Amino acid sequence: MTTAAAASPTARMKNPAVVLPDAMQGVRTIYQAVYQGGVDPKILELVHLRASQINGCSACVFAGVQGSRKHGETDERLHAVAAWREAPFFTDGERAALALTEAATRIADRSGKAVPDDLWNAAADHFDEEQLSAIILMIGLTNLFNRINTTIEEPAGTTW
């Protein structure tokens, strides 16, 4: 019987966005635009949290829970994000954003379109183009940081 290695308390290296300050400035600029896109910050944080759960990024899951709480999210809803389809706590708009998040994050798991038309249409029924842009950018940025953090083994709770 083998035991799994314990998670490292320190990352392999500094976060590349910190090592390359111009990169961090670019990311900050995009995040500012995302939060000015007219989407409820709670939805943006749910999107971030769900993508991070899918990608197994402990640092981003931790940050997603903290960000969600900062915007007034409840523990009840946070505990149910991974099972949002079966949970009664989410609005139709939140469900559309979470479905879009899952499809755009799991693009390699699909045959055909990464985001099927019915899923896209459901999201477009709840969000205008500016809001969809903010959600899509949040999904993309989250996936970027999930990949960076899992590669460098960024531990949960890290602050830069």
**Tens of pLDDT along 119-132?**
999 999 999 999 99
CA torsion through residues 25, 60, 74, 97, sign: positive
Question: Does any domain span residue 18?
Answer: no
Question: Does any domain span residue 85?
Answer: yes
**What CATH number is associated with residue 58?**
1.20.1290.10
Question: Does any domain span residue 117?
Answer: yes
**Helix/strand/coil for 26:** helix
For the cut 70, the answer to whether the pLDDT of residue 156 exceeds it is: yes
pLDDT at 159: 65
Residue 62, number of CB atoms within 10 A of its CB: 17
Question: Does any domain span residue 5?
Answer: no
Instruction: Return d(Cα 30, Cα 26) in angstroms, integer.
Output: 6
Question: Does any domain span residue 1?
Answer: no
Question: Does any domain span residue 28?
Answer: no
- Percent of the chain whose pLDDT exceeds 70: 94
Residue range of the domain that includes 106: 41-151
Convert the pLDDT of each residue in 48-84 to its tens digit: 999 999 999 999 999 999 999 999 999 999 999 999 9
With cut-offs at 50, 70 and 90, classify the pLDDT of residue 136. Answer: very high
Cα angle 15, 114, 60; round to 5: 25
pLDDT at 158: 74
Question: Does any domain span residue 120?
Answer: yes
With cut-offs at 50, 70 and 90, classify the pLDDT of residue 1. Answer: very low
What is the number of structural domains in the chain? 1
User: How does the average pLDDT of the chain come out, rounded?
Assistant: 93
Question: Does any domain span residue 89?
Answer: yes
For the cut 60, the answer to whether the pLDDT of residue 153 exceeds it is: yes
